Structures are given as C-alpha cells and as structure tokens.
Structure 1
Amino acid sequence: MKILLIGATGMIGSRVAAEALRRGHQVTAATRSGKADALPTDPTLTAAALDASVPAQVTELATGHDAVVSAISPPRDGSDPAPALLTTYRSVIEGLRTAGVRRLVVVGGAGSLKTSSGQDRVDEPDFPAVYKAESLAQRQVLVLLRDEVSDLDWTYVSPADEIAPGDRTGEFRLGGDQLLTAADGTSFISAEDYAVALVDELERNLAIRRRITVAY
C-alpha cells in the first residue's frame, strides 16, 4: 500500500511510519520542512515537503497514494488551536477529493471519548487544563468528519486517556466512543501499540466513517 503520512515526524506519526514500513508498505513522509531525518532509513520511505493548509499541495502529493494518514498536531503557540486545525483539515479533505483518494485515517484525541459519567472526557472537571484547548480542537475535527464528510472513507482513531512512548506488544483492546479503562481505572496506550492498531485499521478497513479507540 502507498501511504501518505502527514505529520510524519511527531511522537505518534513517527511510530506510524515505523509500523507501516515494518509491514512492507511504501510511505511518503510529509512535513513542512520536507525532512524526515528522525525516521528509519528505508528504501520505501520518501520524504516530502507539504503545507497541509494548502489544498493544491495536498492534491499534488496525495495523487497516486492508496491512503492518507493525518497526524497533524494543533498549533501550540498559545492561541486557540481550533480555527487553524479545522482550516487545515478542510484543506486536507478538499485536497483528497480532488486527488481521488478516498481513504483517510486521522490521529485523533481522547477528549471526545465518553466516560462512565456520560460526559466527554474533555468536559470533566479533572481534565488537565494544559491539554484542554487542543482536545476541544480535536473534538471539532471529529464533528467535521461526522457532519460533513460522507464521500471519504475516513476513520478517526482516538488513543487512551494517556499515550506515551513505550513498548510494542501488539496486545490491546479496541473500542468505539467510550473511553477504555483498566481495572484500576487508568487509561493508557503506548504510542507504539497505538500505531499497530492504526495500521491494522488501514489494512482491514473495518471502521469506515466512524471513530475507534485503543487502550490496554
């Protein structure tokens, strides 16, 4: 499979790139700079420059690919990240439509997952303030996909409440819109196992036009 990976050098994007390469897929690693020095050296990996907020650039780069994975991070400059993130995702969607690429897998957030209280995780009083604006922006991306994108085969992949670098075990649980927690109430997934679940979905196409989540 030829995969265009937008945001390929971030904490999650780099793990997705490594997992896809491990399975023999061809990966175009797209970053603003066009550099992917932190990624594994592999003959099936190509680095490319991309401003994902420009639809024509998305179209040009996506053409000829089988699927696009978006690991775009919201702006972290202290401003409200939602407008810029939504503008970028609208650009990506427009670019894929023009390129004729239907498959889109989005690295999403956990804040929009439902908890046992019935609230979204981001709306609970103990949600960390430092991540709130970013989580609200990611929730708006999910709303955009659900409300406006019926012509692309998208999947929004939410991690557990906490995600960090760790081990690749290949053992985890998948869910839908409900936050998955362990017996002790914690909710965690390693970035490596998140990448396994995401590439599984790319290969199997079991969650078209819906959100899934992954946790231990």
Structure 2
Amino acid sequence: MKIAVYGATGMVGGQIVKESLRRGHEVTAVSRSGAAVRGATACRAELADVRTFANIANDHDAVVLATVPSRTGGDHSEWLTAMKAAFGSAGATRLLVVGGAGALEINGMRLCDSPDFPEPYRPEARTMAAAYDEIRSAPETLDWTMLAPAPVMQPGTRTGTYVTAGDSPAGPSITTQDFAVAVLDELESPAHHRTRFTVANSEAGTDTRTGARR
C-alpha cells in the first residue's frame, strides 16, 4: 500500500511512518521541513497547498493527516481552513485523520467543554473538535475515518494491543507506538467508514481482543 503521512516528523506522525514501514508499505513522509525520514520518501509541503495535496492523494492509496493547530500562538483558523480544503481535495483516496481526545464525550459532554479540562489545552481541543464537525459534513464520496487517542498519549512501549470505543474514551492513555498500530490496522482492514473511533491501552484484566496482535 502507498501511504502518505502529513505531519511525518511529529510525535504521532513519526510513529505512524515507522509502523507503516515496519509492515512493508511504501511511505511518503510529508512535512513542512521536508526532513529526510529513513526508509520513506521525504516530501516538503504545507497542508494548505491544495494542489500538492490533491496530487499526493491521487498518487497514494491512503493519506494520514497527523497535524495539529499552531501551538506557538498562530491563528487556529488557518489550520482548520487547510483541513477543510484537504477534505475537499482527497478525491477517492482513503483519508485517515488523527483526531483530538478533547472532542470525545462522557455522558453527552465533550471533554473539552468540561470544567475539569485543562485550560491551556482547551483552545486546541476545541479546534480539533471543529475539524471533526467539518469532516462529518463532508460529501458522501469522501472515504474518511477519524481516530482519536485516549486523553493521555505519550511515547512508550509498543505492545501491539489496544482496546477501542466509539465516542467515549476507551481508557485513560495510549502510547504513540500503539496508536500507530491502531492506525495501520484500520488502513489495512477498514472497519470504521465515515466515522470516528478511539483507542486506549488496556489495563490489567481488560479484554484486548479488539486490538491488534502483531
């Protein structure tokens, strides 16, 4: 499979590139810097460059969007506009979007709207939630999946197992390595067409049969 990963040099995108290569896929690592990624074809591009995105999508079986809004004070609307443009330019190519945990819900309330949600992360979480709203309204021709992480995601150990859920957190945390496993499992064996799901690492005693064992 030919897979393009936007945000390929980031904490999450980098692991998705590694997992894709580990499974023998042909990978294009897309980043603003165009930095070389061992085993992948490096590509320098901005998400907002619609023409380049359309060409990349047309040349790949799947595109993964592992990007986030500005974390240095930039206007979040620029990222959201670029994401919306990407949704409209993917054509028939499979699109997997890395979502935000803040848009998940507990008892009907989004995590990012909860008074307990960490204030410094609230603006980004709400922008990521807006991206989910945008992709849900995309034309029926767009073959998309959004995968949201657990509330805590950080580098750790690749266990190859995880548990899944729909709109509510499946657990408290997930490693970036196992999140990447879930991304590749979904790309290789699509099970969530035009919908969102979430993953978490299993706790002791939790049934992990919904996860991958690779």
Q: In 2, are the aligned partners of 1:20 and 1:199 still within 8 Å (CA)? A: yes
1:190 is aligned, of 151, 165, 175, to: 175
- Where structure 2 has 5 or more consecutive residues not aligned to the other structure, the ranges are 202-214
Question: In structure 2, what residue type is equivalent to 1:63?
Answer: N
Question: In structure 1, what residue type is equivalent to 2:193?
Answer: I
Q: Does 1:169 align with 2:164?
A: no
Displaced runs of 4 or more, over 2 A? 60-63, 77-80
* Local SS of the residue matching 1:76: coil
Question: In structure 2, what residue type is equivalent to 1:84?
Answer: E
Counterpart of 1:89 in structure 2 is: 83
Question: In structure 2, what residue type is equivalent to 1:68?
Answer: V
Counterpart of 2:143 in structure 1 is: 153
Q: Does 1:70 align with 2:60?
A: no
Offset of 1:8 from its aligned partner? 0.3
Offset of 1:148 from its aligned partner? 2.3
5 Å-filtered alignment, 1:33-112, equals 33-36=33-36, 39=37, 41-42=38-39, 45-81=40-76, 83-97=77-91, 101-112=92-103
Distance in 2 between residues matched to 1:180 and 1:103, nearest whole Å: 24
Offset of 1:112 from its aligned partner? 1.0
Offset of 1:73 from its aligned partner? 1.4
Distance in 2 between residues matched to 1:147 and 1:92, nearest whole Å: 13
CA RMSD, Structure 1 to Structure 2 (Å): 1.3
Distance in 2 between residues matched to 1:143 and 1:75, nearest whole Å: 19
| Alpha-carbon displacement from aligned partner over 1:128-185 (angstroms, at most 9, x marks no partner) | 111111110110111111112321110000000100000000121011111223xxxx
- Where structure 1 has 5 or more consecutive residues not aligned to the other structure, the ranges are 182-186
Q: Does 1:214 align with 2:209?
A: no
Q: Does 1:141 align with 2:141?
A: no
- Say how many residue pairs are matched: 201
Residues 147-156 or 21-30, more deviating: 147-156
Q: In 1, are the aligned partners of 2:84 and 2:135 still within 8 Å (CA)? A: no
* Local SS of the residue matching 1:5: strand
| Alpha-carbon displacement from aligned partner over 1:61-118 (angstroms, at most 9, x marks no partner) | 222210000001111122452x112211122123322xxx420000110011111x43
TM-score (norm 2): 0.90
Q: In 1, are the aligned partners of 2:162 and 2:178 still within 8 Å (CA)? A: yes
Counterpart of 2:120 in structure 1 is: 130
Distance in 2 between residues matched to 1:149 and 1:175, nearest whole Å: 25
Q: In 1, are the aligned partners of 2:88 and 2:138 still within 8 Å (CA)? A: no
| Alpha-carbon displacement from aligned partner over 1:14-63 (angstroms, at most 9, x marks no partner) | 00000000000000000112113xx4x22xx1001111102111122222
TM-score (norm 1): 0.89
* Local SS of the residue matching 2:135: helix
